[in-house]
Every structure is written in C-alpha cells, then in structure tokens.
Chain A
Amino acid sequence: MTVIDRAYSQERVAYGRQDGTIWSMRTSSTVGFAVDGRDRARLDHLALVFGGGNRSAFLREAIGVMERFELVQEVSRVQVYGASRLAAAGLTREDIPALVERALTDPDPAAKAQAKRTVADLASHWGPPVREPSTDEDQITGVWAEVLDAAQVVEVRASDGSGEASVVVPAVTKRTVRSAKSAATASVGLRSLADDQ
C-alpha cells in the first residue's frame, strides 16, 4: 500500500480557517511523498514521539537532525585532510599555538587576502545570533551554572597523639570567590554612586 502524505496541506487549511488569513500567504507548501505500507506505522510512531502527532512538525525536526548529520560528516572529512597536513608538516597538536601566533603576527599576504574575502562573504549572509529573553524553559542556563559551580567537598584531617579525626566541609572554589568579589565590587560601586547623589 502507498500513502501520500498530506500533512502540509492539512496544516495550511487549518491555519487559514483559524484566523481568516488567505492561506496562500503561508510559506509552507504541499510536498507529497510515498510511504511504503510497512513504514507507515514507523512514520506515525516517530511523528507521535517527535512531532506530537503532527507529521509536518516531525519532518521539520528530522530535517534539522539530518542537516546536522551531514555537517558532522563534512567536519570529519575536513579533519582527515587537516590531520594529513599536520603530519606532512612534521608537526603535532602541541605546535599549533605557536603556528597561530606566528600566522597572526606576520600573516602571509595571500592568506590575509583570502581571510578578508572569507569574512566579507560570511558577513553578507550571516550575522549576530538572535536571542530571545530567557524563559523558564531554558533549563540549560541553570544547569550550566550548577555544573560550573558544582559544590565540592573536601575532607580535612587532623591528628594528635590521641588519635585522628576528619571533617567534611564544602570547598570554596576560586569561581565562588571571584563571583562574590565581582558582585561585591558592583554593590560597592552602586552604593558610592548613591552616596554621591
């Protein structure tokens, strides 16, 4: 059995009915594709898991994943070339900082010209990221801070002639001290500003 997917067109009609917009204004278009009968259940399952039951939503997710896959494969190909260049130059990974330092301070004119062209080309179609304000859904923000500030414990041992004892205490990390110092400095600055006014 062959099934033609109509998810895109269904979504478009639903949208048009919902707010009265002429649906030819939408950027989505109907794309038909054939699904073998044996694969239909698998498609529906994946659409349910990754698209909330919406095949169009699933397809968008799947496109993103496959694009990343393509990129990663390309990275691997470039790395194979890169490793061969490093070996051909008789160098190792440890030599790279010095190579970079030299190239930055005294760049090859042809390389510099290519670099300028590359940046101009990138800037013509790519720019700064667009960032929305943080929301409660941004779990990574909290988790990242937690990971960096992970409370560590140290065991402090003491001994005298009568025996030995140990106490486990939270370790104050360099990060904690610096963050506190930075916040305190900012507070002092604000207070002196208020005093001046």
Chain B
Amino acid sequence: MPVEVVADVPVLVAALSGIGPGAVAFPATPPRSGQPEVDALGVFAYPDKNFALNMSDEIVEGVVVTLRDTHGLAWSAGQVDRAIEVLSGLAAATSGGLITPEFSMQIPTTVGLSAIQGIRAAASHELGNPRVVVTSDPAALRLDPFAPRGIPHPPDQPIAILSPAAFTAAAERARWKLRPA
C-alpha cells in the first residue's frame, strides 16, 4: 500500500510553471530545484511504488481553468491537454487514480477553496492509508494532522497536511530509511 498523496491546485500549477532537473537526474529523485512545488512533483519521478499521486475531478478542473485563464497564465488548449496527460500519466504510473472527493465532512471555513478540494480528495473512501495533502495554504497546514469528522475514517489514521517542502523532505527521509542495506 503506497502513501496516498493529493496535491492541491496551486501546488500542481506551480509545479508545472517551474523548471526542474527531473529528467537529468532520472532515475534518482531529482535534486532540489529551489522551487518546492517542482521538487514535490519530482518525488513521483522516482520509479518506486511508495508514493501514489491521486487527483479528483475538481482538482483536474481547477488545474485546467487556471492554466487556460486568459487573464492569467493563458496556456494554449493543446498545452493544457499535454499538462493533464503528464499529470495523469504520473498518477497512473505511481498507482494513483482519479478519485471521488468526500463532501460530507467538516472543514474549518478559514481554509481556502483549493486546500479544501485537496482535503476532500484525500478523505475519499477510495484511498488506502496513510494519506497526505500537499498544500501551501497556511490555514490548512495548521490542521495537520487532520482527523476527518462526519465521515467513516479510522481515528488512528489522520491525514497529514504538509507543505511542498515538508512533503519532499519527508519522502526523501522515508526513501533513505528504505534504502537497501
């Protein structure tokens, strides 16, 4: 069972908007780029089965509308399709999936919409444990570790809510501990 990872829309958009040394360093975990979101996406470049990238329909929609927004980044339709192909390709390659978010759950109103989408996805009944949401939302980060209420969820399996940098560091530490003797 892999660590179930959900990255929120700002993390995914930022990861697609910076250049990382992923391909150069393959198949090792890429070296740090100085851009935490790019590094967090780099965790999924390493070909093990320990971290599964999952996305929900509302996260995919959020990435598409943000990249396409003509008043913002204004990506071409073709490039957006390509971006979704690589994200879903990475997700599938890490044994992640397109999951159904959990809506009947109480989340503090101080948390931003993108992070709420991330937490809803991470609380999906379709995922195993452990789970982690990667976000930069300060209010969401203060909830870590988050025990969902109002839905069936094992109380001893709270959802970790980590910043991109903290997630990358934790993934690196875990892989270091798992290294062959």
Mark A residues whose CB is within 8 Å of B.
64-65, 67-69, 71-83, 85-86, 89, 91, 93, 96-97, 99-105, 107-108, 110-112, 114-116, 118-119, 122-123, 126-135, 138-141, 143-148, 150, 174-175, 178-179, 182-183, 185-186
Contact = CB atoms under 8 A, between A and B. Distances in A.
A105 B38 contact: no
A128 B62 contact: no
Contacts of A133: 1
Contacts of A67: 93
B105 to A, nearest CB: 14
Nearest to A174: B144
B107 interface: no
Contacts, number: 244
A95 to B, nearest CB: 9
Main secondary structure on A side of the interface with B: helix
Given A71-B89, A76-B22, A108 B45 contact: no
B97 A141 contact: no
A101 to B, nearest CB: 7
A119 B60 contact: yes
A115 B75 CA distance: 13
A104 B66 contact: yes
B27 A100 contact: no
B65 A79 contact: no
